[in-house]
Amino acid sequence: MNEEPLVNPEVVSMVGDWKGYVEAKLGFRNHWYPVRFSKELGEGQLEVIELLGERLLLKRIEGKVYAMRDRCLHRGVPLSKKPDCYTKDTITCWYHGYTYRFQTGELVNILAVPESKLINRRKIVTYPATEAKGLIFVFLGDADELHDLAKDVPPGFLDDDVMILGKHRVVNSNWRLGAENGFDALHIFIHKDTTLRHFRTFNFPIGHTPLPGAVQLIEEEDGPKGVMDDFAQHKPVWDGVIDGEIVVSGPRSAQVQGTSASVGTSIWLPGVLKVDSFPTGGLTQFEWYVPLDADRHLYVQTIGKHCPTPADEVNFANEFEATWKPHALDGFNGDDIWAREVTEPFYADDYGWVDEMLCEPDETILAWRRLASRHGRGIQQKIDLR
Ligand code: FES
Ligand SMILES: [Fe+2]
């Protein structure tokens, strides 16, 4: 077993009140994470996933999804190398026949040693799984720390008539660079040339700094924990000037109210962003940065809309496919993905957390790091993908 510390202890000792965040290189344990869309896992289907540096098997049995560690207790091999499912709710190890029940992880048989004393006395680790709004969520954590899903998603996501559509893809950066890229008020600069401009008219300054009162911490005991940033209370910058000459300007339309394409963003534990009125009015973007291991995250991008009638749902689905998926989730967020992957090398050895030089609007990022350190329910300690 590799005993190298996951995070450089010298760096951890230098960051003060957001130490927990720096330690959470693999994410915060004991939270719910979306891992796939429900429609991606049909009845009886098996799927291998990575989550916070662990490898899991997902299976849907009689409609319900179960998650189990993908490692045989006998000699440690991945069951997924050659899945042998002789019955619908068991999986048998391809090597010597250890057989496990998906619902409980129990070793219910060893096909080649049916009298073994181990039978019914050992268990593979299982994790709770649930489905909401067309997404499969897994609680990566310990049973005595189990909380409601509602405490791990942004307000509004679970609202009754909200329809959620989206996509996911793997991004080659640590999950925190995803979370910070989304919430970072100043990164609006990267979006000044966004392709989304061709599909709707909006105002987008090249920068904006939160004024006092813009940032609000949400830390109520029984709800999700997050930081909200209200763009109405920001001071925008429209023109970039070098030596007295305007060299770049943000798109600005006299017909459009407001100073930004969105009205505000908020970031919530365990790493999910809510962008209000985006990609256009009446829609809300919810996106997760799900840690896969130390240097990759699953970017789960979704857009929600209140759809009280079936006709509204059809219209939203069409609009999503025709416009918002290609031009917002792919086009606009393509800028973000590129930025995260280019940022990764600076933070990969942890020294980026102390070598960076943040400026005034980055106060929002620091607020998130501190909040996450206060309320993360546990630090995932090691990569275990053997
Ligand atoms: S390694 Fe799985 S049964 Fe032997
Ligand atoms: Fe962005």
Q: Are residues 85 and 199 in the same domain?
A: no
In order of 28, 32, 215, the CA distances from 218 in angstroms are 18, 18, 10
Exposed (0-12), middle (13-18) or buried (19+): which is 281, by Cβ within 10 Å? middle
For residues 85-106, average pLDDT: 97
Tokens standing for residue 236: 């925008």
Q: Are residues 116 and 242 in the same domain?
A: no
Residue 293 lies inside a defined structural domain of this protein:
yes
Task: Please tell me whether residue 346 adopts helix, strand or coil conformation.
Answer: helix
Q: Are residues 86 and 225 in the same domain?
A: no
Given the DSSP bridges, would you call strands 46-51 and 31-37 parallel, antiparallel or unpaired? Answer: unpaired
Number of domains in the chain: 2
Q: Are residues 188 and 314 in the same domain?
A: yes
Residue 22 lies inside a defined structural domain of this protein:
no
Q: Residue 156's Cα: distance from chain center in Å?
A: 17
Q: Which of 130, 160, 188 marks a domain boundary?
A: 130
Q: Are residues 195 and 319 in the same domain?
A: yes
Q: Are residues 168 and 55 in the same domain?
A: no
Confidence of residue 2 (pLDDT cuts 50, 70, 90): low
For ligand 1, say whether the CB of 94 is within 6 Å of any of its atoms. Answer: no
Q: Whose CA is nearest to atom 1 of ligand 1?
A: 75
Q: Which of 102, 130, 158 marks a domain boundary?
A: 130
From the CA of 98, give the closest atom in ligand 1.
Answer: 3
Q: What's the pLDDT score for residue 197?
A: 78
Q: Which residue bears the tokens 């009845």?
A: 43
**Which residues are CB-neighbours of 370 under 8 A, at least 6 positions away?**
17, 18, 21
As beta bridge partners, residue 80 has none
Q: Are residues 154 and 283 in the same domain?
A: yes
Tokens standing for residue 377: 């329910």
Q: Are residues 169 and 118 in the same domain?
A: no
Nearest to 24 by CA among 194, 240, 179: 179
Site to substitute for ligand 1 among 74, 110, 116, 119, most atoms within 8 A of C-beta: 74
Residue 326's CATH number: 3.90.380.10
**Proximal ligand: closest to the CA of 94:** 1
Residue 141 lies inside a defined structural domain of this protein:
no
Q: What's the pLDDT score for residue 38?
A: 98
Nearest to 136 by CA among 266, 30, 47: 47
Confidence of residue 360 (pLDDT cuts 50, 70, 90): very high
Tell me the residue type at 218. Answer: I
Tokens standing for residue 229: 């940033």
For ligand 1, say whether the CB of 93 is within 6 Å of any of its atoms. Answer: yes
CA distance 176 to 184: 11
Residue 21 lies inside a defined structural domain of this protein:
no
Confidence of residue 181 (pLDDT cuts 50, 70, 90): very high
Site to substitute for ligand 1 among 90, 91, 95, 113, most atoms within 8 A of C-beta: 95
Q: Are residues 113 and 245 in the same domain?
A: no
As a whole number of Å, the end-to-end CA separation of the chain is 10
Residue 177 lies inside a defined structural domain of this protein:
yes
Residue 69's CATH number: 2.20.25.10
From the CA of 73, give the closest atom in ligand 1.
Answer: 2
For residues 152-181, average pLDDT: 98
Q: State residue 260 phi and psi, 5-degree precision.
A: -155, 160
Residue 4 lies inside a defined structural domain of this protein:
no
Task: Please tell me whether residue 71 adopts helix, strand or coil conformation.
Answer: coil
Residue 301 lies inside a defined structural domain of this protein:
yes
**C-alpha 24 – ligand 2 centre gap (Å):** 23
Q: Which of 82, 105, 130 marks a domain boundary?
A: 130
Q: Are residues 100 and 172 in the same domain?
A: no
Q: Are residues 158 and 118 in the same domain?
A: no
Of all residues in the chain, the percent with pLDDT exceeding 70 is: 99
For ligand 1, say whether the CB of 100 is within 6 Å of any of its atoms. Answer: no
* Per-residue pLDDT tens over the stretch 45-81: 999 999 999 999 999 999 999 999 999 999 999 999 9
For residues 122-142, average pLDDT: 98
**C-alpha 310 – ligand 2 centre gap (Å):** 31
* Per-residue pLDDT tens over the stretch 194-246: 888 777 777 889 999 999 999 999 999 999 999 999 999 999 999 999 999 99
Q: What's the pLDDT score for residue 330?
A: 96
CA distance 275 to 261: 10
Residue 344 lies inside a defined structural domain of this protein:
yes
Q: Are 230 and 214 in contact (CB under 8 A)?
A: yes
State the pTM of this model. 0.96
Q: Are residues 82 and 207 in the same domain?
A: no
Range with the poorest average pLDDT among 87-96, 139-148, 194-203, 270-279: 194-203
Q: Which domain holds residue 89?
A: 31-130
- Helix 363-375 to helix 175-183 angle (10° resolution) is 130
CA distance 276 to 288: 15
Confidence of residue 1 (pLDDT cuts 50, 70, 90): low
Q: Are 152 and 280 in contact (CB under 8 A)?
A: no
What's the mean pLDDT when you consider all of the chain? 95
